[in-house]
Amino acid sequence: MDKVFASPQHAVSDIEAGATIAIAGFSVGHRFATSLILALREKGTKELTLVCNSLGDPGATRGQILAENNQVKKLIAAFSVRPGTPTASEDQIVAGKMEVELVPQGILVERCRAGGAGIPAFYSPTSVGTAIVEGKEIREFDGKPHVLEHAIHVDYAFLRGYRADRLGNVQFRGGSQNFNPSFAKAARVAIVEVDEIVEPGEIVPELIDLPGIFITRVIKTTQTVDGKAWRRPERRPSDKPRLYNGKPALTRAGIAKRAAALVKEGTYVNLGVGIPTMVSNYLQGRDVILHAENGVLGYGEMVTGDDVDPDIYNAAGQFVSLRPGASFFDSVTSFEMARGGRIDTVILGAYEVDQNGSVANWSTSDAKRGGIGGAMDLLSGRGDLIIVMEHTDSKGRPKLRRECTYPLTGKACVDYVVTDLALFHWRDGRCVLEEIAPGFTPQEVIALTEMEITPGPNVATME
């Protein structure tokens, strides 16, 4: 049973117009099925439906190059666009040429896993109270609402592994399993490209992460990408503060440091993209284990230079260290930890937080153009929620609102907000001001905040 194909072109030669293709991969560009994607662009097959985490940035050898070649009619993804990154896919979405179904990241992989397991549908607590549930059946279990989600089946899956044998057994490396197993199981034809093809028996059975029964075709990659050279540009230097009333507030790094101090000892913590990722730099020596959606538990601070391992990265795609006892797994397992209530604390960025502790962090326009990511799944667990963000947006508008103006990520779920001006704590339904940045007064902070704020009995100064 030899599943090896001679080339990427041969492996995609039977993909016809209208096919549904799942493209695995998570953030870091070198662990996508680049050879297969380029071969499909060369073939020019049209009217495709793509299932993926996101299409990627302009020119990225991911699904975006298929959109740039006008091959995509529908997108099923956790991210349709990213603010500040114009793409061909966004233009097509706005023009009505590309249909979009936005799906929370954990639900996306779970729907694919269900498709491969012969489960037609399931109920989930994720996304309750948000715009994503419109038109879906909701049913109560144990007194709590749950949303009916249907399985996803795809025609083809493009996967990226480290090694495979001729029987299709696949080994992944580091935190690069992500979507691969669930997408493979959902596919009629699963194609994996790998760095190395070996003979059966050369991969120790305990190191096989995806058994060959789920794989249809194997190819050796023809595209080499320097993973260590990949970097996500920083929006603003983390040590440069914004000015309010002509005075410097905390830096973004300062926000992260204060949030880190809120984390309890002996807990599992998930860090979102942006300012939250910097929290990992302030947890050294703490009894805290960090969790990332791409499938790693027990990572440490961010690293650069010779300390970079291109297969060890967080959910933002930033390279990180590993702590003793770390483990790797796929995204299905990762979100089982979140929805199952195993994560004690979630730290996220946000566009807005409102009076009731509801949060909006995924869309700046409409429900078809944004990035849900894994936030809704993370909020459906039982952990504390800490929001970290700058106090106002780039135009000086308050981000602490009476009512969120952007689509909600979660309702009445926020415990703390740390901004560059203050620390807020929700107590008995009220937002209490507990600390302020050096050089500012409670009155100044309240004046820059739209929602009602109750100053605590002893408002302290943030370090």
Distance CA 146, CA 124 (A): 5
Structure tokens at 200: 């059966």
In terms of Cβ atoms closer than 10 Å to its own Cβ (0-12, 13-18, 19+), residue 246 is exposed
Tell the residue number behind the tokens 């058994």, with chain if given: 211
CB 235 within 8 A of CB 23: no
Parallel, antiparallel or unpaired: strands 359-360 and 170-171: unpaired
Fill in the amino acid letter for 331: S
φ, ψ for residue 335, nearest 5 deg: -80, -20
CB 412 within 8 A of CB 357: yes
CB 343 within 8 A of CB 337: yes
In terms of Cβ atoms closer than 10 Å to its own Cβ (0-12, 13-18, 19+), residue 447 is exposed
CB 65 within 8 A of CB 59: yes
Distance CA 399, CA 21 (A): 38
Residue among 60, 85, 86, 90 at smallest CA distance from 75:
90
Please enumerate in sequence order all residues whose Cβ is within 8 A of that of 333, keeping only pairs 6 or more positions apart, or say none. Answer: 295
Torsion angle of the four alpha carbons 223, 224, 225, 227, in this order, in degrees rounded to the nearest 10: 130
Greatest Cα-to-Cα distance within the chain, rounded to the nearest angstrom: 73
Distance CA 112, CA 153 (A): 7
Please enumerate in sequence order all residues whose Cβ is within 8 A of that of 42, keeping only pairs 6 or more positions apart, or say none. Answer: 9
Tell the residue number behind the tokens 């995509």, with chain if given: 72
Q: How far is CA 385 from CA 125, 269, 413, 416, 428, in A?
A: 17, 10, 7, 7, 15
Distance CA 79, CA 54 (A): 5
**Does residue 293 carry a catalytic annotation?**
yes
Distance CA 148, CA 142 (A): 15
CA end-to-end span of the chain: 64
Catalytic residue (one of 110, 149, 193, 293): 293
Catalytic sites, residue numbers:
293
